[in-house]
Amino acid sequence: MKVSVIIPVYNECATVEELIRRVQAVDVDKEIIVVDDCSTDGSREILKRFAERGEIRLVLLPRNSGKGAAVRAGLREVQGDVVIIQDADLEYDPEDYPVLLRPILTGKSKVVYGSRFLGEHKAMYFWHSVGNRLLTLVTNILFDTTLSDMETCYKVFTADIARKLDLREPRWGFDPEITAKILRMGYRIYEVPISYAGREYHEGKKITWRDAITVILALLRYRFLP
């Protein structure tokens, strides 16, 4: 089984090199697809050096379009059997890949989410924790499921599911959209515990409470529209 790791990057020069090294160190057959979302802080130059050495496949977006657009561009490049979405900010540890892949390898599920609330983790900001749990609760009510962490970065699914996804959300609506479409296709999501080391705002954390509104609207849209 070959794993396609998709890494969307936007202004992560402080962490992206270390993140790629950690992904490379994981003992699974993999391809690393990095999508630079028009970074302006030097991230693109770092990524070009990896690409020149043949260590990653690099996709360069001509303008900043958002995480959803970056992931969508990465999905078009997938050649593996399973897809893993990986953020570039070191909050999520690639050493968790074997745990994430096991339910797929054993035939238990075609979709696996890594839950930050089931595993060991650095304490989150209180309101971030409340916000994450609220958005997950809304997801569970709308789609009759029992997820603990809908907003997790670690979304893992087989390539045949990736080919069925017609993703449209360019920015923070990506997580609810992909979750909604997977559930509406009839797939149940298998959750496993992962470790999590959340960043502080001075370290470059980007998400705010305004993004929660985008997520809720996307959940409602993909639950009730055809």
pLDDT digits (tens, 9 = 90+) for 89-114: 999 999 999 999 999 999 999 999 99
Between CA 43 and CA 45 the distance in angstroms is 6
Which string of DSSP letters, residue by residue, matches 198-211?
PPPGGGT----THH
**What is the predicted pLDDT for the residue at 104?**
97
**What is the predicted pLDDT for the residue at 41?**
95
**What is the predicted pLDDT for the residue at 223?**
92
Domain boundaries, the chain: 3-123+151-168+182-200
Looking at residue 111, its amino acid is: V
DSSP summary character for residue 131: H
Contacts of residue 186, Cβ cutoff 8 Å, sequence gap at least 6: none
Between CA 107 and CA 72 the distance in angstroms is 26
Place of tokens 């849209």: 221
**What is the predicted pLDDT for the residue at 129?**
72
Give the bridge partners for 84, in sequence order: 5, 156
**What is the predicted pLDDT for the residue at 172?**
77
Q: Which helix (H) or strand (E) holds 177?
A: helix 174-184
Q: Which residues in the chain come in under a pLDDT of 50?
A: 202-205
Between CA 91 and CA 18 the distance in angstroms is 12
Between CA 158 and CA 50 the distance in angstroms is 26
Q: What are phi and psi of 31, to 5 degrees?
A: -120, 145
Q: Cα angle at 76 between 162 and 151, to 5 degrees?
A: 50
**What is the predicted pLDDT for the residue at 14?**
94
Between CA 136 and CA 147 the distance in angstroms is 7
**What is the predicted pLDDT for the residue at 188?**
93
Indicate the pTM of the whole model.
0.91
Class of domain 3-123+151-168+182-200: alpha beta
**What is the predicted pLDDT for the residue at 225?**
83
